[in-house]
Structure 1
Amino acid sequence: MAAQFGRRLRKGVTTTAVAAAAVAALAASQAPGATTDSAGGQTTSDATSTPDEATDGDGATGDSPYYTDLPPLNSPNPSPSAGTGIDTSGVTEAGIPATVLDAYKQAEATLREKKPGCNLPWQLLAAIGKVESGQARGGRVDADGTTLSPILGPQLDGNGFALIKDTDDGAYDGNSTYDQAVGPMQFIPSTWAWAGRDGNGDGREDPNNIYDAALAAGHYLCRNGWDLSVQDDLDRAILSYNNSTEYLNTVMSWLEYYRRGTHEIPDGTGTLPTDRSDRVTVPPSASAAPKPKPEHSTTPKPGTKPPGSSPSPKPPTAPGTPTTPPTKPPTTPPTPTDTVDHLENAGVAQFTAMAGDTFTERMSARAETDAGRTVAKVRIRFTIAGDTDTTFTGGERVATVMTDSSGVAVAPALQAGEQTGTVTVQATVAGRTVKGVSYKATVTERAADSLVRTGDTPLTCTPGGAFADAVELKATYRGEAADKVAATAMIVDSVLAGTPSDKGPYFKDADGNAVRTWSLTTDANGLLKLPQLYADDTEGTFLLRVTTTGGATTTVALTVKKADEPETPDPSTDPSESPAA
C-alpha cells in the first residue's frame, strides 16, 4: 500500500454560513499570494466572477472526504505508445479507463478554445478524479460516460463534516434533508447548479456523467481568471475545490505522476483506492484485548441444543403443497454498445493531403451487430497512431464521436503536419474490445502549380559585375499562395539543358564561391526571393530556371554584355564650318 498523509477529522460547523466563512479564511491562509478582505473572504487581484461562475464558499465538494492514496514512487515511463489499441502493460496505477481518459482530454480541448488563458492540463482533471472517486470507481461507466451506479459522498449534516442543508430537494443526491457530493468529480448540488456543463452533447447536465462532470470541473478550476500554468493560481484552484492542505498535496502528487506518462485501459478495470480522509486508523496498541472464551456450561440456553446433538429434521412437505421457485435477479438490458460485433469503413478508402493542409475527406466508421444491423448511440474512438505530427482539427490525436441513427460516426477532419509519409488512424468502440477499422492517410510535400515573376524589368549586367535587380517570384497552388514550398534555381545556357552552366551568371555561397544551383523555400505569402546574382567575364544570354515541388517552372533571361560606348565624332568634319551655300 502506498504511503499516505496523516488524516484529519473534520469538525462540524453549526450553519452553512459559518462553514463558508471558515473555508474562506482557511483558503486565505493556505493559498500562496492570497489575501483576505475585511469580512475574512479570499480576494485575488484578478478575481472576475460572473453570474454563471459564482464563487461557492463550500468549494466544489463541500469539503467532503477524499481518497488519500498516493501514487507509487516508480515513474510510469516508459508508458505504452498511443494508438496501439488497448494496452494494460506498464505501471498499473498509470492506467486510466478509456472513457474517463477521453472525457478529461475532451474537457481540456474545450477549455483550450473557451478559456485559452487558463492553460488547463487534462492531467489535473485526472488527478482530481483519482482523489475524488478513483476515476469513477475504476471506470465503471457506460458508453455514454454515465456511472453504472451513483457515487455519493456522506451527507453533510455537521456530524464530522460541514453542515449543508438540502439545496436541490434531493434531485441529484436523493437526500431532501442534507446535501451530498455527487458523481465522479464529487460536486455538491449547490455548486453543480451553476457549474454544471453538458460535456457529451446529450442536452443534459448530469453530475453522474464523466463527460459533464469533467467539463464542469475544468470550468470551475478556470474561473477567477486563474492561469493554471502559474503555481500560485494552480494552488488556489485546487484549494477552492477542497480546502485542505493535505488535499492540495495529494492532488499535486497525482498530477506530477500523470504528467510523467499514462496509458489507456479498458473501462471497469482501473485500480480502486482504499484510504479515505475520514477514516482514522486505530494504532495496534489501542485495540481492545481479545475477549475470553465463555466458560463451558452443560446446561444449554433456552432454544438451543446441547453439544453433540443431531439437528432436527425438517418437517416433510405435505403432498400437493405448492413450492415457491427461487426468484431470479433482474437482468439488465444490453446497452447499444453491448450489441456491437464489429466496425466497418463507412467512407472512402484513400486520404491524401499536402503537408500543412486539412484533409478534404473525413474518416467514418459504422457500428454493426453480428447480423449486420447498424447500431446507433455508440461511442467510436478514432486514434492517430505512430510517430507523426498529423492531428485532428484542434490538435488532438484522439477523438470520440457517437454514431448517428444510421450507425455511422464521422471523425473530425485530419490536419496534416509537416512530416510526410503514411499516417495510420484506428477506430475502436469505446469500452469494448471488438474488431475495429484501420485507415491509411498520406501526407505529401507542399507543392505549387504556378510560378511567375513579380516584376518585368530586364535583367542585365556587365562582365565581372553584379545584377542590380533581385529576382522575385510568386508560387501558387490552385490560385492560393503556396507557402513553405521547396524550389531549386539553376543557371543554364539553353532551354533544353539539364545541368547547370559552367560559365555565365552565378550565386555566391557562404564562402564566396561561385555556384549556379540554389535551393530555397517560399515564404508565408508564397514568394521566392533569390539572392544576389553576379556575372563572370563571359558575355551572352543565359537562363535562370526555377522549379518547385509539384512541377511549377519558370525561366528568366539573364544578359551579360559590355556597356555601350559613346559615339566618336568624325575628325574630318569641322562643326564650326558653315555648310556651303
Structure 2
Amino acid sequence: MAAHFGRRLRKGAATTAVAAAAVAALSASQAPGVTVDGQGGQTTAEATPAPEEGAEGVGATGNSPYYTDLPPLNSPNPSPSASTGPSASGRAEAGIPATVLDAYKKAEAALREKKPGCNLPWQLLAAIGKVESGQARGGRVDADGTTLSPIIGPQLDGNGFALIKDTDDGAYDGNSSYDNAVGPMQFIPSTWEWAGRDGNGDGREDPNNIYDAALAAGHYLCRFGWDLSDQGDLNRAILSYNNSTDYLNTVLSWLEYYRKGTHEIPDGTGALPRDRSDGTARPGSASSTPGTSKPKPGPRPEKPPAGDRPDTEPPASPGASDRPTTPPPSTPPATPPTPTDTVDHLEDAGTARLTATAGDAFTGRISTRAETDAGKAVAKVRIRFTVVGDTDTTFTGGESVATVVTDGSGVAVAPALLAGEKTGDVTVRATVVGRMVPGLDYRATVTERVADTLVRTGDEVLTCVPGGEFAHRVEVKATHDGAVADGVAATATLIRSADDPTANDGGPYFRDADGKAVRTLGGLKTDADGLLKLPQLYADGTTGTFLLRVTTAGGATLTVELTVAAAETASPSPSPSTSPSASPGA
C-alpha cells in the first residue's frame, strides 16, 4: 500500500496523508482472531468456518485488481453546495449515484430480514462497490440498475494475477479460456454461480446488475453466521472477498467515511477512480479497457520492515556495500510443507445416515477427516463442502458452498443441511482447498412430506340435483403424528366403489381449465395450516350415491359420500271438503 500512498502524495494531496494515517490506524487496530501471513493470506482458529474463496481459493473476486483511491478529507455529510463546498469533481467523488445507493440500501434491508444477526451495513457494500468498480463506473447504469456496458476485469491468467482457468464457458465474462471478475461487485463466475441473487425481482441473476450484485455481496459477507458489528468478523468477511491486507484497509477507510454520511448524486455523474492495485490507468483509456488488453504484472511486493525480514537477509548498515558479503547458498533452503501439502486423502469421520423430510433440517452433519498417506490426521486444512446437482437443498443460511478448517483431530464438520422441496438423493462433495486430491462424496436423501390422518373440516351433507353443482366444497385437514402436515401432496378421485378405487366414468366431477369434466385431480398440496380445499364439484344427469376419495403421501385416506337426487316435488294439497248445508231447522 505504501506504493499507492506515494503516488497520491506526489500529487500533493494533503487529504491523502490524513487518510493514510487513518488506514494505518485501522490496520493497527485489526481485531484479535484474524492474522495475516506474509503474503496477505488470512489464517483463522482451528475448527472455525473459513471464507469461501472461489475456484482457486482466492476470494469472491479471484483477488482481482481493485481501486486504491482513498476518501477525501472532508466529511461527505451534509451535501456540499456548489458555492461553499469543494469542486464538482470532489462532490462527485464523495457522493454515491442514486440507483447504486438505492441498491445498497435495499440489499441491507433484505439481509436485515433474512439474516438479522449479520448486522450488514449498506455502507460496507458502498465501500466494496467503490473499491471494486468506482460505484459501477460512477453510476453508469440504466433504470433497472444494469450497467450500460459490462464491467469485466482482466483475465486471470496468472500474468500478474491469480490463475483461474475458465469455469463458465464464457457465459458471464465472454472468455472461454480464463475467468474474469464481472460486474460492479466483481464476482468471478464460479463464485457468482452459487452466490448470485435476484435483487430487483426481474427473475434473473445478473452480475452486471447493481441490485443483483449488491444483494449477492451482502449474502456473501453474511456467511458462516458472521456478525459484522464485531470487528473480527467484519475483517474476516472483507478478507474473504479479496484476500489482501491492503484491500482490507482500503475498504475499511471507505466504510468509515460513508458511516459519517454521504449524499446522493445523479446516475452517471460519479467520479471515476484513478489508481488501481495493478498500476493501470483509470478505466476508459486504451491501456486499461477491462478484458481487452493484456494485463500488466502487478507491483512487486514491498520489502518487509527490518524486524520481519528473514534471518538470512539482515538489514544493511552504513557502509555495508563496501564490506565483503557472504555469498548466498547455492541451493535455497527448502520451504517446509504446509499442512495442506501433507494431505493424501479424505476419509469419512463417522457421518450418520443423512435423511430429512422436505423443508426440514437434517439432524446429522457431515464429518470429514484429512489424512496423510500413513493415515495420520492433518489439522488446519481447509475443507470445502459443496452441494452439487439439481437440488434446492442448501446449508443453513441458504448457501450451497461452505469451507471449514479441520480441528486438532483432522476433522471438519460441515454446517447443517436444510432440505429443499425437491425430493430424492442429494450429493455433498468434500474437497481440500489448495490441493488436488480426490473428493469425498456423501449422499443425503430428501423424502416427501407425509400425512397419516385426514379429516373433513365441515359436516355438511353433500347433495346435488342432476346437472347442478354441489352447494359446499370439500375441505380436509392433514396431520402427521398429531401435528399439522403442511405441503403434503394429495390426490382426489371420484371412485367407482369402496372396493374399486379406479376413477368413475359417470356421476359427480370436477372441471379442468377448459371446462371439461375430470374425475381425478393430482398435484394438490396442503397449505401451511395442513388444509386442502378441493375445487367445485358438479353433477351430470346420473342420480345415486357416489364416493370421493382423498389420499396423501404417507398413506392418509379419507372417503366422502356424495348424493345426486332429483328435487322432491310437493304433492298437491287435498281440496277442502264442502260441508253439507245445514238443513232448515237443523
Contact 1:399–1:411 under 8 Å retained in 2:
yes
* Unmatched runs of 5 consecutive residues or more in structure 1: 1-8, 83-88, 127-193, 258-270, 278-323
3-state SS of 1:468 partner:
coil
For 2:84, the aligned partner's letter is S
For 1:16, the aligned partner's letter is A
For 1:460, the aligned partner's letter is T
- Corresponding residue to 2:554 among 550, 554, 572: 550
User: d(CA) in 1 for partners of 2:176 and 2:567?
Assistant: 77
For 2:14, the aligned partner's letter is T
User: d(CA) in 2 for partners of 1:451 and 1:104?
Assistant: 45
User: d(CA) in 2 for partners of 1:207 and 1:390?
Assistant: 24
Deviates further, 458-467 or 509-518: 509-518
Contact 2:153–2:181 under 8 Å retained in 1:
no
User: d(CA) in 2 for partners of 1:11 and 1:357?
Assistant: 57
User: d(CA) in 2 for partners of 1:358 and 1:208?
Assistant: 28
Q: Which residue in 2 is equivalent to 1:465?
A: 468
- Structure with larger Rg: 1
Q: Which residue in 1 is equivalent to 2:349?
A: 346
Contact 1:484–1:521 under 8 Å retained in 2:
no
Determine whether 1:91 maps to 2:94: no
Contact 1:390–1:414 under 8 Å retained in 2:
yes
Contact 1:337–1:432 under 8 Å retained in 2:
yes
- Corresponding residue to 2:297 among 274, 299, 322: 274
Shift of 1:459: 1.0
Q: 1:239 to 1:448 in 2, by over 3 A?
A: farther
Contact 1:199–1:213 under 8 Å retained in 2:
no
Q: Which residue in 2 is equivalent to 1:414?
A: 417
Q: Which residue in 2 is equivalent to 1:335?
A: 338
- Corresponding residue to 1:119 among 214, 219, 225: 214
Contact 1:27–1:240 under 8 Å retained in 2:
no
1:144-159 aligned within 5 A: none
Contact 1:384–1:397 under 8 Å retained in 2:
yes
3-state SS of 1:338 partner:
helix
Shift of 1:439: 1.0
Contact 1:389–1:419 under 8 Å retained in 2:
yes
Shift of 1:26: 12
Contact 2:550–2:559 under 8 Å retained in 1:
yes
User: d(CA) in 1 for partners of 2:255 and 2:435?
Assistant: 33
Q: Which residue in 1 is equivalent to 2:224?
A: none
Shift of 1:387: 3.4
User: d(CA) in 2 for partners of 1:380 and 1:390?
Assistant: 19
1:299-338 aligned within 5 A: 329-338=332-341
Determine whether 1:210 maps to 2:243: yes
For residues 83-130 of structure 1, what are the alpha-carbon distances to aligned partners after superposition, in whole Å with 9 as ceiling and x for unaligned? xxxxxx95135599xxx97997899799x9xxx99815569x99xxxx
Determine whether 1:39 maps to 2:134: no
For residues 220-276 of structure 1, what are the alpha-carbon distances to aligned partners after superposition, in whole Å with 9 as ceiling and x for unaligned? 77784999xx9949967977988x9944559xx89889xxxxxxxxxxxxx995266
User: d(CA) in 2 for partners of 1:53 and 1:387?
Assistant: 33
- Corresponding residue to 2:447 among 440, 444, 448: 444
User: How many equivalent pairs are there?
Assistant: 412
Q: 1:231 to 1:369 in 2, by over 3 A?
A: farther
3-state SS of 2:497 partner:
coil
User: d(CA) in 2 for partners of 1:254 and 1:90?
Assistant: 19
User: d(CA) in 1 for partners of 2:418 and 2:248?
Assistant: 25
3-state SS of 1:119 partner:
helix
Q: Tell me the percent identity.
A: 45
Shift of 1:34: 10
User: d(CA) in 2 for partners of 1:11 and 1:234?
Assistant: 26
* Unmatched runs of 5 consecutive residues or more in structure 2: 1-6, 20-68, 106-119, 135-151, 158-163, 200-210, 222-229, 301-326, 582-586
For residues 266-315 of structure 1, what are the alpha-carbon distances to aligned partners after superposition, in whole Å with 9 as ceiling and x for unaligned? xxxxx9952669xxxxxxxxxxxxxxxxxxxxxxxxxxxxxxxxxxxxxx
Q: Which residue in 2 is equivalent to 1:402?
A: 405
Q: 1:221 to 1:441 in 2, by over 3 A?
A: farther
Shift of 1:373: 2.7
Shift of 1:345: 1.1
Contact 1:195–1:220 under 8 Å retained in 2:
no
Shift of 1:211: 8.2
Q: 1:492 to 1:23 in 2, by over 3 A?
A: closer
For 2:446, the aligned partner's letter is V
For 1:79, the aligned partner's letter is D
1:421-436 aligned within 5 A: 421-436=424-439
TM superposition score normalised by structure 2: 0.54
Contact 1:504–1:539 under 8 Å retained in 2:
yes
Shift of 1:401: 0.7
Q: Which residue in 2 is equivalent to 1:366?
A: 369
Q: Which residue in 2 is equivalent to 1:161?
A: none
